[in-house]
Amino acid sequence: MIPLVRLSGITKSLQGNQILTGVDLTVHSGEAIAVLGRSGSGKSTLLSLIGLFDRPDGGSYLLGERNITRLPERRAAALRSAEFGFVFQRFFLLKHLTAAQNVAMALVNGQGWLPRRKRRAKVMAALDRVGIAHLAKHRPPRLSGGEQQRVAIARALVREPRMLLADEPTGALDTETGNLVIDVLHEATKEGCGLVLVTHDWEHANRMDRVLRLSEGQLGEAR
Amino acid sequence: MIRLKGRLRSALIIGLQGIRARKLRTLLSIMSLFLGVLAVVVVQAASETARRAALGETELTMGKDGTLQMYVPTEGKALETALDTVKDRPDVVATTDMSAIIGEPKVTPINRGGMPFAAVAEGQGGPRLTRPDGGEFICGPRGCYPIGQKESSLPETPGQAIELRLSAMTGDVRQFKPFRQQSGQWLDFASAASLAPRIVLNKEAAKFFGTYAVPAEMRISGATANMTPQILGVVDDGIGEPRAYVRMDELQNWLPAEQLRQGGTGLQLLMEPHATDVMQILKTRLAASGLEFAQQLRAEPVDSRERVADQLALIRWVFLGMAGLVLLIGVAGILNVGLATVGERVEEFALRRAVGTSRSLLAGIVLAETLLTGLLTAGAAIGTGMLALNYVGRYLGKVHPVLATTEFPWQAGVAGVVAGLIAGLLGGLIPALRAARIPIATVMRA
B122, part of any domain: no
The count of structural domains within chain B is: 2
Note whether B296 and B325 are same-domain residues.
no
Query: How far is residue B36's CA from residue B44's CA, in Å, rounded to a whole number?
Result: 12
8 Å CB contact of B358 and A112 = no
Tens-digit pLDDT profile for residues B133-145: 666 666 555 555 6
E strand segments, chain A: 5-14, 17-27, 32-36, 58-63, 66-67, 84-87, 163-167, 194-198, 210-215, 218-221
8 Å CB contact of B2 and A113 = yes
Query: Which residue of chain A comes nearest to B437, CA vs CA?
Result: A73
B115, part of any domain: no
- Residue B40: what are its φ and ψ, rounded to 5°? -65, -45
Asked if residue B155 has pLDDT above 50, the reply is: no
Query: How far is residue A116's CA from residue B437's CA, in Å, rounded to a whole number?
Result: 30
Single residue among B246, B275, B301 that ends a domain in this structure: B301
Helices (DSSP H) in B115-244: which residue ranges? Answer: 117-121, 203-211
In this structure, are residues B99 and B163 in contact, taking their beta carbons and an 8 Å threshold? yes
B395, part of any domain: yes
Selection from B202, B207, B210, B162 nearest residue B182 by Cα:
B202
Task: Report the mean per-residue pLDDT for chain B.
Answer: 84
Asked if residue B325 has pLDDT above 90, the reply is: no
B148, part of any domain: no
Note whether B90 and B32 are same-domain residues.
no
Residues in contact with B356: Cβ distance below 8 Å, sequence separation at least 6, in sequence order: A77, A78, A80, A81, A82, A106, A109, A110, A111, A159
Note whether B76 and B211 are same-domain residues.
yes
Kindly indicate the confidence band of residue B130, based on its pLDDT and cuts at 50, 70 and 90.
low
Asked if residue B414 has pLDDT above 60, the reply is: yes
For the ranges B147-161, B394-408, B425-439, the one whose mean pLDDT is highest? B425-439
Kindly indicate the confidence band of residue B96, based on its pLDDT and cuts at 50, 70 and 90.
very high
Tens-digit pLDDT profile for residues B8-32: 888 888 888 888 888 888 888 888 8
Query: How far is residue A149's CA from residue A179's CA, in Å, rounded to a whole number?
Result: 12
Single residue among B301, B322, B356 that ends a domain in this structure: B301
Note whether B263 and B400 are same-domain residues.
no
Note whether B217 and B363 are same-domain residues.
no
The answer to whether B77 contacts chain A (CB < 8 Å) is no
The answer to whether A108 contacts chain B (CB < 8 Å) is yes
Tens-digit pLDDT profile for residues A33-85: 999 999 888 998 999 999 999 999 999 999 999 999 999 988 999 999 999 99
Distance from CA of B357 to the nearest CA of A (A): 5
How crowded is residue B149: how many other Cβ atoms within 10 Å of its Cβ? 11
Note whether B384 and B432 are same-domain residues.
yes
Helices (DSSP H) in A41-174: which residue ranges? Answer: 43-50, 73-83, 99-104, 116-129, 145-157
Tens-digit pLDDT profile for residues A168-178: 998 888 888 88
Note whether B290 and B230 are same-domain residues.
yes
- Rounded to two decimals, the ipTM of the complex is 0.90
In this structure, are residues A116 and A171 in contact, taking their beta carbons and an 8 Å threshold? no
Distance set, CA B352 to CA A11, A125, A139, B278, B318 (Å): 26, 21, 18, 72, 45
Note whether B233 and B374 are same-domain residues.
no
The pLDDT, as a whole number, for residue A173 is 85
Chain A 59-88, residues with CB within 8 Å of chain B CB atoms: 73-74, 77-78, 80-82, 86, 88
Interface with chain A: mutation pick from B1, B12, B351, highest number of A CBs within 10 Å: B351
B313, part of any domain: yes
The pLDDT, as a whole number, for residue B221 is 86
Note whether B291 and B318 are same-domain residues.
no
Query: How far is residue A175's CA from residue B294's CA, in Å, rounded to a whole number?
Result: 108
Catalogue all structural domains in chain A, each as residue range(s) with its CATH number: 31-54+77-221 (3.40.50.300)
What's the DSSP call for residue B302?
P
Asked if residue B274 has pLDDT above 70, the reply is: yes
Query: How far is residue A113's CA from residue A109's CA, in Å, rounded to a whole number?
Result: 9
Interface with chain B: mutation pick from A113, A159, A198, highest number of B CBs within 10 Å: A113
What's the DSSP call for residue A97?
S
What's the DSSP call for residue B227?
B
The answer to whether B106 contacts chain A (CB < 8 Å) is no
The answer to whether A152 contacts chain B (CB < 8 Å) is no
Print the domain residue range for B171.
68-107+158-301
Note whether B422 and B374 are same-domain residues.
yes
B116, part of any domain: no
- Residue B43: what are its φ and ψ, rounded to 5°? -60, -45
Note whether B297 and B391 are same-domain residues.
no
Residues of chain B found within 8 Å of residue A77, distances taken between Cβ atoms: 353, 356-359
B361, part of any domain: yes
Kindly indicate the confidence band of residue B323, based on its pLDDT and cuts at 50, 70 and 90.
confident
The pLDDT, as a whole number, for residue B136 is 65
Q: Which amino acid is at B288?
A: A
Q: Which helix (H) or strand (E) holds B368?
A: helix B359-391
The vertex-A98 CA angle with A97 and A100, nearest 5°, equals 115
Asked if residue B166 has pLDDT above 50, the reply is: yes
Note whether B76 and B222 are same-domain residues.
yes
How crowded is residue A108: how many other Cβ atoms within 10 Å of its Cβ? 23
Single residue among B301, B321, B355 that ends a domain in this structure: B301
B127, part of any domain: no
